[in-house]
Amino acid sequence: AKELLEKESNVQPVRAPVTVCGDIHGQFHDLIEPFKIAGNAPDTNFLFLGDYVDRGYYSVETVTLMICLKIRYKDRVTITRGNHESRQVTQVYGFYDECMRKYGNANVWRYFTDLFDYLPVSALIENTIFCLHGGLSPNLDTLDPGQRA
User: Is there a catalytic annotation at residue 84?
Assistant: yes
Can you tell me whether residue 46 is helix, strand or coil?
A: strand
**Superfamily of domain 2-132 in the CATH hierarchy:** Metallo-dependent phosphatases (3.60.21.10)
Q: Which of 25, 29, 84, 133 is catalytic?
A: 84
pLDDT tens, position by position, 115-126: 999 999 999 999
Q: Which regions of the chain does DSSP assign to beta strands (E)?
A: 11-14, 18-21, 45-48, 77-79, 122-125, 129-132
In angstroms and rounded to an integer, the radius of gyration of the C-alpha atoms of the chain is 15
- Give this prediction's pTM: 0.90
pLDDT tens, position by position, 91-118: 999 999 999 999 999 999 999 999 999 9
- The Cα–Cα gap between 66 and 77 comes to 9
Give residue limits of the domains in the chain: 2-132
* Of residues 130, 27, 111, 122, the one with CA closest to residue 81: 122
